[in-house]
Amino acid sequence: MRHAVPAVAGAACVFGFAPFYAWPVPILALAALFAAWERTATPRMAALDGLLFGLGYFIGGVSWVYVSMHDFGSMPAVLAALATFLFCLYLALFPALAGWLARRLAARNPASILLMSAAAFSACEWLRGWLFSGFPWITLGNSQVPSSPLAGFVPLAGAYGVTLVAALVAALIAAAARPFSSRGARIRVLAVAVAIFALGGALRLFDWGERAGPPVRVALLQGNVPQELKWREETRTRTLLEYRRMIFEADAKVVVLPETALPAFFDQIPYDYLEGIRQHAAATGKDILMGIVERESHNNAESDYYNSLARITGERQVYRKRHLVPFGEFIPPGFRFVLAVLKIPLSDFASGGKGQPPLEAGGTSFGVAICYEDIFGEEVIDQLPRAQALVNVSNDAWFGNSLAAEQHLQSSQVRALETSRWMVRATNTGATAVVDEKGYVVSSLRPFTQGILVTDLTPRKGQTPYVLFGNLVALAATAALAGIAWRIR
């Protein structure tokens, strides 16, 4: 029965993320986990509690990968369910490692164990986002954006810094809840927790940037093309015509189409089609940013394929996706056999590489993230401080009517707050939205509908501490907390 508590706590964490945004839940869930680690007898038992917490957390939070593998990747249901469970089991190894480290490194007293628990959990969250190209989906710090007072720490130390602060608050709550704690000790630790929330709330009032110019009108197109029909020949012409109609109707200086909006290689799109769009853009003063698939042929007749966002008006500019999705956009070495059961088109992309400049459109510099690139905070800041706004183009139709699209939107909210920049998102089926520099959704389209979202975006300049130092602040603070916990004897 005792082991059920971490599993239930992990599953409850899902309610802290979008679309629920119940930010206190993950903090209380962590408090329950840390209390279990403090009471357990050995590092091995703490690892088991962490594993059960992780299974609840990730089966509840990312099991939507089943939809992409089975519904759209044609993987048999049994294999897709098994692959989803194994993926969640892999992710659960990180909180399991955190539990083992917490009990292995801490002294044998509650204060040391609880503080080491906060440090170990935060360190393993960062490790999850880095190892094997990383998968920082639903990083715990994300759950505090945009409404929690702890969101005030995001511009300082990023999502991982907020993970650490939330874990520290959870450790304090667990300490106050210990049955043998004195009334005075409980008051003191809860006062520290309240002070942390107050500091975060005060930081929220600080503006880390400033306006860089007048507002720019941007139109975000949501084509709502069903994933199962997107690449079929019989729907290609209709998709091209619908997007051209929306481009012509969009009353904006910058028009953004979703990831791989047009279901063809860019060199296969009819010349007259593109020329008509360019002529319309020239006549109306529009800049068009289009999600496309490019291919580059080499002398040996082989081609490289790129998932790109291109400005097709004026002097052509292209951003090529650099952080590819394993098994979705490339197959890791040794796993080619997966293609026999996983039928996903265009699963052999090349990386665009680092150091790509922002795209210029409408007199504004846009830092670009394609699909899930915007869950990697340190990669997004590569284009700052030059970028005056952020743009994400995605196609979350791969995940059906699941939590994935809203969770992805929350990642964009975190990136906006980390950088003090507006973020605009153009997606195929949702969530197409506009996020301001404080991480709040200004406007959005209803998912699984076709539409045009027009907004007046405010270009911004300046650098937050996170833009300057990336995850170094969070990692240094985590190491410092671990050092304090280790020294308590």
The CATH number that applies at residue 287 is 3.60.110.10
pLDDT of residue 108: 87
Residues 285 and 388 in one domain: yes
Q: pLDDT digits over 16-28, tens only?
A: 999 999 999 999 9
Dump pLDDT digits (tens) for 447-470. Answer: 999 999 999 999 999 999 999 999
Residue 180: how many CB atoms within 10 A of its CB? 6
Residue 1's pLDDT band (cuts 50, 70, 90): low
pTM: 0.95
DSSP of 370-385, one letter per residue?
Answer: EGGGGG-HHHHGGGTT
pLDDT at res. 78? 92
Whether the per-residue pLDDT at 183 is higher than 90: the answer is: no
| Shared domain check, 236 and 168 | no
Residues 50 and 132 in one domain: yes
Q: Residue 203: which domain range?
A: 4-207+470-487
The percent of residues in the chain predicted with pLDDT above 90, rounded, is 79
Averaged pLDDT for residues 225-244: 87
Closest by Cα among 433, 459, 434, 457 to 447:
433
Same structural domain, 422 and 388: yes
451 and 477 in a common domain: no
**CA-to-CA dists, residue 442 to 18, 235, 251, 363, angstroms:** 15, 33, 18, 22
Q: What is the pLDDT of residue 185?
A: 86
In angstroms, the CA 106 to CA 46 distance is 12
Catalytic residue among 13, 88, 124, 371: 371
- pLDDT at residue 105 greater than cutoff 90: yes
Whether 348 and 444 share a structural domain: yes
Active site residue 259: yes
Q: What 8-state DSSP symbol labels residue 447? A: T
- Kindly state whether residues 191 and 244 are assigned to the same domain: no
80 & 188 share domain: yes
Number of domains in the chain: 2
> 134 and 283 share a domain?
no
Mean pLDDT of 24-36: 98
312 and 420: one domain?
A: yes
pLDDT recorded at residue 302? 73
Backbone angles phi, psi at 40, to 5 degrees: -70, 160
Q: Is 242 a catalytic residue?
A: no
- Tell me, yes or no, if 88 is annotated catalytic: no
Q: What is the mean pLDDT of residues 366-375?
A: 96
- 169 and 256 together in one domain: no
Contact 64, 402 (CB under 8 A): yes
> CB–CB of 70/80 below 8 Å?
yes
Q: Determine which one of 125, 321, 406, 438 is catalytic.
A: 321
Give the pLDDT of residue 182: 83
Mark whether 442 and 480 lie in a shared domain. Answer: no
Give the active site residue among 38, 125, 259, 406: 259
- Which residue, 399, 392, 401, is CA-closest to 432? 392
Which DSSP helix (H) or strand (E) runs through 41? none
